[in-house]
């Protein structure tokens, strides 16, 4: 029996040069993973996601920041639209006398938009968990219902 190494033997653990932990960060960055958590708050979220998207050079980070930015623009835009419509129309109807039926017809879509905004606000706390989990596993997940603003 010979002690010489043959080509069919597997290399010893000392001869492998793979780094299990840090090498994964060349494919995905921590900022690309945590951008979803950073961007969770409406109005502040689209600012931070936009800054990360603008300054990042890593494609994984940019893709995740773009997805988070698109979602936060949808959520923040819906809250802003409801705020402007409710207070703007309320103020308008204080100065302009309209029949109650017309006011009701005008405010029904506004209340529907308010309901959708509240649902998006609640959904905001769940989709960031999914997006963060997907980013951990290397996928830049597109948020549901979020149009491509960026």
Question: Cα separation of 4 and 128, whole Å?
Answer: 56
Task: Provide the pLDDT for residue 8.
Answer: 54
Is the whole model's pTM more than 0.85, yes or no?
no
Residue 15 has pLDDT above 80, yes or no: no
Report pLDDT digits (tens) over 63-119: 999 999 999 999 888 999 999 988 888 888 778 877 878 878 888 888 999 999 999
114 half-sphere exposure, CB direction, 13 A CA radius: 11
**3-class DSSP state of 16:** coil
**Chain mean pLDDT for the chain:** 82
Give percent of the chain with pLDDT exceeding 90: 39
Question: Cα separation of 64 and 135, whole Å?
Answer: 8
């Amino acid at each position: 029996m010979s002690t010489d190494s043959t080509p069919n033997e597997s290399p010893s653990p000392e001869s492998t040069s793979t780094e299990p932990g840090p090498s994964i960060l060349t494919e995905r960055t921590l900022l690309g993973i945590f951008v979803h958590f950073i961007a969770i708050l409406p109005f502040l979220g689209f600012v931070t996601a936009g800054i990360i998207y603008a300054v990042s050079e890593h494609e994984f980070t940019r893709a995740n920041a773009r997805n988070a930015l698109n979602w936060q623009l949808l959520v923040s835009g819906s809250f802003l639209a409801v705020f402007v419509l409710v207070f703007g129309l309320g103020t308008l109807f204080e100065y302009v006398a309209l029949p109650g039926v017309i006011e009701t017809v005008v405010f029904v879509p506004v209340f529907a938009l308010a309901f959708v905004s509240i649902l998006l606000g609640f959904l905001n706390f769940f989709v960031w968990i999914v997006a963060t989990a997907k980013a951990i596993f290397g996928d830049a997940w597109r948020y549901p219902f979020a149009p491509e603003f960026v």
